[in-house]
Amino acid sequence: MTITITAFEKSPDGGKGLARDTRVRWALEEAGLPYQVRFVSFRAMKEPAHLARHPFGQIPTYEEGNLVLFETGAIVLHVAQHHAGLLPDDADARARAIAWMFAAVNTVEPPILDFMTARLFEADKPWAEARLPLVADRVRDRLKQLSARLGKADWLDGGFSAGDLMMASVLLRLRASGILDEFPSLAAYVARGEARPAYKRAFAAQRAVNAR
């Protein structure tokens, strides 16, 4: 069955791979699944046709036959549950990998988004100077905990899984700020993710569109 995802017609990051279609492309590449992309403009994202696919008018979405999904966590989990390569076979290990997926989007990504919003979109606000160090330290707290758990391992729990795919995708958003490099083991963890052939293909595909 044909898989169709949505992505920005023109990504605001100019193809740095930060738009969230990249993590879905990465999962599809890891699973060896071909897919096509429907590109949407910011205006089209808020129109009824797209809102029927995504109630919040965002990208990415995922269509496969009659199934329409939104939320990258749900999309990557769906791909991982139905195709080999992203979740371990052992039931307990599988549950732990899924826990890391939730940790990525529910525990690690929110402070990162707060920090990015403060840094990129609220820098001109009168309270920005006082707020930025606070939100940056909340990110550091999480990274300290995550780095302690990762230790010297390559991946969060055994072999590479969808948990790592989601966590690395979330963390790489921090690179431009310099905070990721304060945690060398996490910077190396993200680099290991980016070195995977499937990530490289996903990155190149979104780059090709946004470099046009």
Total residues contacting ligand GSH by CB under 6 A comes to: 8
In whole angstroms, give the CA distance from residue 4 to residue 73: 17
Contact call for residue 71 and ligand GSH (CB under 6 A): yes
Angle between helices 162-171 and 91-103 (to 10 degrees): 20
Q: Which parts of 17-90 fold into alpha helices (H)? A: 21-31, 42-45, 48-51, 72-82
Identity of the residue, 57 or 85, whose beta carbon is nearer to ligand GSH in the bound complex: 57
Identity of the residue, 184 or 199, whose beta carbon is nearer to ligand GSH in the bound complex: 199
- Number of DSSP helices (H) and strands (E) in the chain, helices first: 10, 4
Contact call for residue 19 and ligand GSH (CB under 6 A): yes
In whole angstroms, give the CA distance from residue 140 to residue 136: 6
The answer to whether residues 122 and 128 touch, using CB atoms and an 8 Å cutoff, is yes
Contact call for residue 108 and ligand GSH (CB under 6 A): no
> How far apart are CB 40 and ligand GSH at their closest, in Å?
9
Contact call for residue 25 and ligand GSH (CB under 6 A): no
Contact call for residue 22 and ligand GSH (CB under 6 A): no
| Range list of β-strands (E), 66-146 | 67-70
Contact call for residue 150 and ligand GSH (CB under 6 A): no
> How far apart are CB 57 and ligand GSH at their closest, in Å?
6
Q: Binding ligand GSH by CB under 6 A: which of 3, 59, 77, 143?
A: 59
DSSP reduced 3-state for 69:
strand
Contact call for residue 20 and ligand GSH (CB under 6 A): yes
> How far apart are CB 34 and ligand GSH at their closest, in Å?
21
In whole angstroms, give the CA distance from residue 13 to residue 15: 6
In whole angstroms, give the CA distance from residue 70 to residue 8: 14
Identity of the residue, 51 or 153, whose beta carbon is nearer to ligand GSH in the bound complex: 51
Q: Binding ligand GSH by CB under 6 A: which of 17, 35, 58, 167?
A: 58
The structure tokens 């055994």 sit at 158
Identity of the residue, 58 or 210, whose beta carbon is nearer to ligand GSH in the bound complex: 58
